[in-house]
Chain A
Amino acid sequence: MNSHSTPPHEAQPTVMVIDDDRDIREALQGLLRSVGLRVELFASVQEFLDSGQLSRPGCLVLDVRLPGRSGLDFHDDLVSANVHLPVVFISGHADVQMSVRAMKAGAIEFLTKPVRHQDLLDAIQRAILYDGAHREEQRTLGAIRTNFDKLTSREREVMALVVAGRLNKQIAAEIGISEATVKFHRGQVMRKMHVRSVAELVRIADKLQLTHPQPQTTSTKV
């Protein structure tokens, strides 16, 4: 169904349709292609998994009822496996319970057959945008991590205290080094993390979800 090489697709998002009904697959393919979207068709979850395209940019269009594991169960699997591929559900029934479950689990949209093409295209558009944004964020986070990994343990210590709002003097006192040495480490952190202000450093620390090391300990010590 698809070549093994992933890089060329990296640029253009793909709508991956999983539906066991061939007529539905073909109809969706026709519709999506007419608006210029790239489409891949799969008859089952297994077929999709076997194709190894979990990390491909784009979104999934999933039938709720699929042979074997249902679309909803598969979505749960994706969520718990930390796969953030956005999902648009299509169901033969306007089942409120099902749609609530799907939306709670983070689905982009839950549409009822026969689907209005504009609703579907809108949902797919949103899904693709969400996926793009998410991937962008992941990429940024990846870069930050790489930078952070380059810090020495002393630099990490200093960085944690800086983002916790301590002054150089306080930091020097807290970890028992001279203020000049703190300044040096602080300069290294800013350079290695590619930031120019403390505010920026705080934002990055948030993304890294760094826990501030016992912010209250200093006051008790003093």
Chain B
Amino acid sequence: MTPARILIVEDNRVVARDIRGQLSNIGHTVVGMTARGDNAVELALTARAEIVLMDIRLEGSLDGIGAAQQIREHCKIPVIFLTAYADDETVQRASHTEPFGYLLKPFEELELRTAIEMALYNHAAERKLRESERRFVAILSSIGDAVIATDEETRVTFMNPVAEALTGWPQREAIGRPLAEIFRIVNEETRQRVVEDPARQVLSLGTSVGLANHTMLLARDGRELPIDDCGSPIIDDGGRITGAVLVFRDISQRRQMEETLRKAQADLVHVARLTTMGELAVSIAHEVNQPLMGIVTNAEACLLWLGKDQPDLDEARKAADRVVKNGHRTGDVLKSIRSLVRKSSRELTKLDINAAIMEVLGLMRSELRRHEISVEAELSEDARLVVGDRVQLQQVILNLILNAIEGMSATACQPRVLNLSSQNDKTGYTLIAIADTGVGIDSTGSNRIFEPFFTTKQEGIGMGLSICRSIVEAHGGRLWASSNSPYGSIFRFTVPRSANELSFDPAA
């Protein structure tokens, strides 16, 4: 038994004394006795009573029920009614004060004892519950995420301050309103109202749900915020879903950071491409010089044919035709250089990967020749069409070919062969392989070659392969390396053949 400090409010002093005797027997302490309802509250507070035994009929203007009401409002000390009246109306009134017990006079000591025990126990449980509630309110008010709770009809039952700030609705106005009115969301791109509000989804599915990407919250004051959210059901002891909790946050700042990061990455990719092009400058100049030589020579031949005593117009025309052809060839070379040097945002198109490979090979022909490398191309017709960013894919091919050239120029006597192939892998991807007969991959470094700043070269900064991999992965493909037989290495990568395979983030 827990000894308790008890206040007795009883207009019959004989009965009061009797009760005090009983309580002492049980082991409780009576900290005060009064016959009036109007001073019961004050007495309960000053005497620090832990429980109040309250008669209903009392002296003074306030009866026991009124006094219990005041005690409940002021200090939440548990009250047990003691009364000889058990008529319906009285019981009804008394129950409004949420008493912790109801003893009908006359009562036995055991009944009194039990009633006090029960009241103390329930009071402690109630206090714990109140504490827990206060704790949750404090937590929900201080976290950075917005929280809205609803009942099973998706009517708002709770909003924390962040939710109030983001939606622009104060909790007191929002409570009881349908969630869809407070939490108005649209798809960022289509501007279409998201049909089913997340609370309703949670209620119907009974599981936690995340919101689709690119959701915008329309606040009451007209602001639009990109948000990220999830909802969870509230489930009672019986397993019934009694409501939903929605947690969401403003992601505009994160968006901004992502955008900045994306720009930085795009810049890096571009700079890497320029660096690569710079390494190739001499070879590329040669590719322009070739048709230029053709133009000059043909034009001179044309003039010579025309300058004869008997001008040969037919030959002159043929030479002029060759000038035109070479002029176009120069243009094509310049076009492919310009497209590689241009700083462009990622552009997804259906493209001919075989043509893209040949174009890169065209720019590198002189470089390959300089290193006495022969080229084999096995490009499959049914692997031709892929979806991706042409410039970036060419950058990958360019880097891998340069890599192969470097690997081969480091070897002295092996035949130098660069083998390029494309094939349809029958799983929706085109597989491109770039094989060389160079030094191959050091087995200890093979896992690290794709890491940023890992390099085995004197002059490299080690970004080439790392950038290649990030480009390929942004296309939803894979890039990996293995050893070629009997020597050299093979780099392979996949590119999706249709947009379905693309895990490209369209916002990026």
Contact = CB atoms under 8 A, between A and B. Distances in A.
A117 B300 contact: yes
Contacts of A28: 297
A24 B369 contact: no
Overall SS of chain A's interface: loop
Contact of A23 (B286, B294, B304): B294
A198 interface: no
Contacts of A21: 290, 294
Interface string A13-46: 0000000110110111011011100000000000
Contacts, number: 84
B282 interface: yes
Contacts of A143: none
17 contacts: A21-B294, A26-B322, A27-B298, A27-B301, A27-B322, A28-B297, A30-B301, A31-B300, A33-B301, A34-B315, A34-B319, A69-B372, A92-B366, A113-B292, A114-B289, A115-B297, A117-B297
A134 interface: no
Interface residues of B, number: 30
B294 A93 contact: no
A68 interface: yes
Interface in B178-216: none
Q: Across chains A and B, which 4 residue pairs bring their CB atoms closest together, nearest first? A: A27-B297, A34-B304, A114-B293, A117-B300
B291 interface: yes
B370 interface: yes
Given A24-B290, A27-B326, A30-B319, A114 B297 contact: yes
Contacts of A129: none
A24 B318 contact: no
Interface residues of A, number: 25
B289 A23 contact: no
B290 A30 contact: no
Contacts of A27: 293-294, 297-298, 301, 322, 326
A113 B290 contact: yes
A69 B374 CA distance: 11
B329 interface: yes
Contacts of A93: 282, 286
A115 B282 CA distance: 18
B372 A70 contact: yes
A90 to B, nearest CB: 8
B296 interface: yes
Interface of B: 282, 286, 289-298, 300-302, 304-305, 312, 315, 318-319, 322, 325-326, 329, 366, 369-370, 372, 374
B301 A31 contact: yes
Interface in A51-85: 65-70
Overall SS of chain B's interface: helix
Interface of A: 20-21, 23-24, 26-28, 30-31, 33-35, 65-70, 90, 92-93, 113-115, 117
A31 B304 contact: yes
A35 B298 CA distance: 13
B373 to A, nearest CB: 9
A30 B366 contact: no
Nearest to A118: B300
Contacts of B319: 30, 34
A115 B369 contact: no
B297 A65 contact: no
Interface centre among A23, A35, A69, A113 (most CB of B within 10 A): A23
B332 to A, nearest CB: 12
B137 to A, nearest CB: 79
Contacts of A26: 294, 298, 322
A33 B372 CA distance: 32
A90 B319 CA distance: 20
Given A27-B322, A67-B374, A70-B372, 6 more contacts: A23-B322, A24-B297, A28-B297, A33-B315, A34-B305, A114-B293
A31 B307 CA distance: 13
A68 B325 CA distance: 27
A93 B288 CA distance: 12
B304 A35 contact: yes
A24 B293 CA distance: 7
Contacts of B282: 93
A35 B369 CA distance: 32
Nearest to B323: A27
A31 B289 CA distance: 18
Contacts of B369: 20, 65-67
B340 to A, nearest CB: 20
B372 A68 contact: yes
Contact of B296 (A34, A68, A92, A115): A115
A30 B286 contact: no
A34 B282 CA distance: 32
A17 to B, nearest CB: 11
B374 A114 contact: no
A8 B304 CA distance: 27
B289 A92 contact: yes
